[in-house]
Amino acid sequence: MNERNTRAERAAHVGRVAALSLLAGTVGGAAVLAGEAFVARTRRYAEPELGLALRATVGSADAPPLRLVLLGDSAALGVGVQEFDETVGGQLAHLLAEGPAGRRVHLSSVGVSGSRSTDLATQVARALLGARPDVAVILIGANDATTLRRPSDAAAYLGGAVRRLCDAGVEVVVGTCPDLGAVRAVAPPLRQVIGWSGRRTARAQTVAVLEAGGTVVDLAAETGAVFRADAGTLCHDGYHPSADGYRVWAHALLPAVAAAAAVASSR
């Protein structure tokens, strides 16, 4: 009987030690994440360049015109670079102008740095002022993911924006949340957490965009490996893309945008 009691006591002791170790690990992990989140929030990040043109025309004067508008967050403005030709919009415009179709691209952006999907309604209203765009490119999701918003909620707002644009006769291409696990501004394990959040956001975005009639480009799947392998795809803050990073995104978006432009021209 005593031997059985001793074994039971030892088992209970091991269980208590395991439970305490798990609790300590959980508390310690939470403290690490909280500390890293504070550091990430207080870092100095790149700001929008006031000199960047939000409206520009690229291409031959006698080429077929294409009105292209960008909506979304800092990516739609080119935060992280200093020249128009380095932004994702500028690089897309040049690729479309120099491509087989040889378009004269009238580019504009209504994106706002720091935007989340809830901000798209205002941007859509601005995009539809005046001459109707032929193609809209939406780059959104990173700020939804880093603030751990519910993916379904963020995706619903995005789907609503896509539907409004499609109903207005605009072809829509959405670049889903990029691979946040590739950023250098955030240390592990928080980097893994926001990477996971970004993947969930991108999956929800894909469903919502397709249901609303838009086209999806999975930026994480298409370009994430490049960003993880090459730190030069990020600008000095380790978070926003550099000119090389925006070039990678532009080439990933190009096939879908060119196809959307062809559809718009056939109407």
The string of DSSP codes covering 79-133 is TT-SSGGGSHHHHHHHHHHHSTT--EEEEEE---TT--GGGHHHHHHHHTSSSPP
pLDDT computed for residue 23 by the predictor: 35
Integer Cα distance of 155 and 208 in angstroms: 6
Structure tokens at 149: 């918003």
Integer Cα distance of 40 and 185 in angstroms: 7
pLDDT computed for residue 18 by the predictor: 38
Catalytic entry in 237, 244, 251, 265: 237
Burial 224-240 (b: 16+ CB within 10 A, else e): bebbeeeeebbbebebb
Pairing of strands 171-175, 215-217: parallel
Catalytic entry in 74, 109, 197, 242: 74
Beta bridge partners of 68: 107, 135
Q: Please give the model's pTM, rounded to 2 decimal places.
A: 0.85
pLDDT computed for residue 34 by the predictor: 44
Is there a contact between 92 and 68 (Cβ–Cβ < 8 Å)?
yes
Positive or negative, the CA dihedral 78, 178, 115, 232 is negative
pLDDT computed for residue 43 by the predictor: 60
Pairing of strands 65-72, 55-58: unpaired
The reply to whether 240 belongs to the active site is: yes
pLDDT computed for residue 47 by the predictor: 85
Catalytic entry in 109, 134, 179, 240: 240
The reply to whether 119 belongs to the active site is: no
Give mean pLDDT in consecutive 10-residue pieces for the chain, a chain of 267 residues: 48 40 39 43 68 83 97 95 95 96 96 96 96 97 94 98 98 98 93 96 98 98 98 96 98 98 93
pLDDT computed for residue 52 by the predictor: 66
pLDDT computed for residue 35 by the predictor: 44
**Sequence-distant (≥ 6) Cβ neighbours of residue 196 within 8 angstroms:** 181
Integer Cα distance of 206 and 215 in angstroms: 9
Integer Cα distance of 169 and 26 in angstroms: 51
**Sequence-distant (≥ 6) Cβ neighbours of residue 48 within 8 angstroms:** 74, 77, 79, 113
pLDDT computed for residue 54 by the predictor: 76
3-state SS assignment for residue 162: helix
Our CA angle for 172, 262, 53, nearest 5°, is: 60
pLDDT computed for residue 197 by the predictor: 97
The reply to whether 74 belongs to the active site is: yes
pLDDT computed for residue 61 by the predictor: 96
